[in-house]
Amino acid sequence: MIIFITFLVTIIVDQLTKYMVVKNFSVGESLPIIKNIFHFTYVQNRGAAFGILQNQLPFFIIITLVVLGLLIYFYRQLPLNSIWNRVGLGLALAGTVGNFVDRIRLNYVVDFLDFRVWPVFNIADSAIVVAVIIFSYWILIVDNN
């Protein structure tokens, strides 16, 4: 149940925030939240992390489907007695699906969280990063004890 709730809440927040950015910003428009530190900046990312592999939509669709398959496989392998593993799996699934929805619907991913020292990203990207941190902690620390 925790996996589903985490997935659902993350997908809703991701898609809602992207919708609000698309409806209220022009591409490239930036709104300072904390001037020169954190802005909302609307970017249409047609690539992967850091904008690499621009305009490779078929490649990203295939990779996303492979990642979703691996997540489903790992669901069966993951010790789900830990709430953190369940949250991590929900976040990983939501992040993957959130950006996949953008690619299918828009042919790009909507990014808007801009810390000025890092490429612009979104909620789905954040969910994936947090999931990787949770899984890494589990593999490197917990599983080795």
pLDDT in tens, 79-94: 777 888 889 999 999 9
- Rounded to an integer, the average pLDDT of 53-66 is 84
Determine which one of 14, 102, 111, 114 is catalytic: 111
Structure tokens at 107: 């042919």
Nearest Cα to Cα of residue 113 among 23, 40, 21: 40
Give pLDDT, residue 4. Answer: 93
In degrees rounded to 5, what are phi and psi of residue 56? -115, 50
Give pLDDT, residue 71. Answer: 81
pTM: 0.87
- Rounded to an integer, the average pLDDT of 31-42 is 96
Is 111 known to be catalytic? yes
**pLDDT above 80: residue 125:** yes
Q: How far apart are CA 120 and CA 127, in angstroms?
A: 14
Contact 30, 39 (CB under 8 A): yes
Residues in the chain: 145
**pLDDT above 70: residue 145:** no
* pLDDT-wise least confident of 46-60, 91-105, 106-120: 46-60
